[in-house]
């Protein structure tokens, strides 16, 4: 989504879409950035308008197959912007059920109780993602991050770099 922030390392920089932090798309990957779903700033689009825009974007710019949809439940760097009510359940249905894509929830800034009564932002939004990225709160101030997914997804991953702080001996010990 426009104004989404997912980091600057590797291909995360390609899907980050905040001002001057945008980086050029790496070869072999294609991304479509959906309308900024701001309930406070930007456009005055309703949830129905945003879903219609997403459908039009996916239908016009893909072969019908989508690898995934990555989002923050509350955009952090993009302006502390909560997504409109009902938006995520409809996007999950559209991406997962119509286009066969994975739902990837970036909980780096919203996870670990930061959204109030729910421990995770995706639970607050009433959805179940296929992949969850997390950091910051997981280490209580110590730089550590993690990715959680279902076994059938993780079994297909051969070698990948997940996060800036991943794999260091001290981070792994703190995680334990």
- Across the range 94-121, mean pLDDT stands at 86
Chain segment 56-87, per-residue pLDDT in tens: 999 998 888 999 998 988 777 777 778 888 99
**Structural domain count of the chain:** 1
**Exposure string (b/e) for 43-63, b if CB count within 10 Å is 16 or more?**
eebebeebbeebeeebeeeee
**Considering the entire predicted model, what is its pTM?**
0.81
pLDDT given at position 38: 74
**Which residue's entry shows tokens 């059938």?**
152
Q: Domain range holding 159?
A: 33-175
Which pLDDT belongs to residue 26? 55
Q: What is the mean pLDDT of residues 14-30?
A: 65
Q: What is the CATH number of the domain that holds 124?
A: 3.40.640.10
């Amino acid at each position: 989504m426009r104004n989404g922030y997912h980091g600057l390392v590797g291909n995360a920089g390609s899907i980050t879409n905040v001002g001057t932090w945008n980086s050029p798309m790496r070869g072999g990957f294609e991304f479509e950035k959906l309308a900024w779903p701001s309930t406070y700033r930007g456009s005055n689009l309703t949830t129905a308008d945003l879903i219609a825009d997403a459908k039009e974007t996916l239908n016009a710019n893909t072969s019908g197959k989508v690898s995934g949809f990555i989002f923050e439940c509350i955009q952090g760097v993009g302006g502390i912007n909560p997504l409109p009510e009902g938006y995520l359940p409809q996007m999950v249905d559209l991406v997962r059920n119509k286009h066969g894509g994975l739902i990837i929830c970036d909980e780096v800034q919203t996870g670990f109780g930061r959204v109030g009564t729910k421990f995770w932002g995706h639970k607050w939004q009433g959805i179940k993602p296929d992949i969850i990225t997390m950091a910051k709160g997981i280490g209580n101030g110590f730089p550590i991050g993690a990715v959680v997914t279902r076994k059938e997804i993780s079994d297909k991953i051969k070698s990948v770099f997940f996060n800036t702080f991943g794999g260091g001996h001290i981070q792994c010990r703190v995680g334990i």
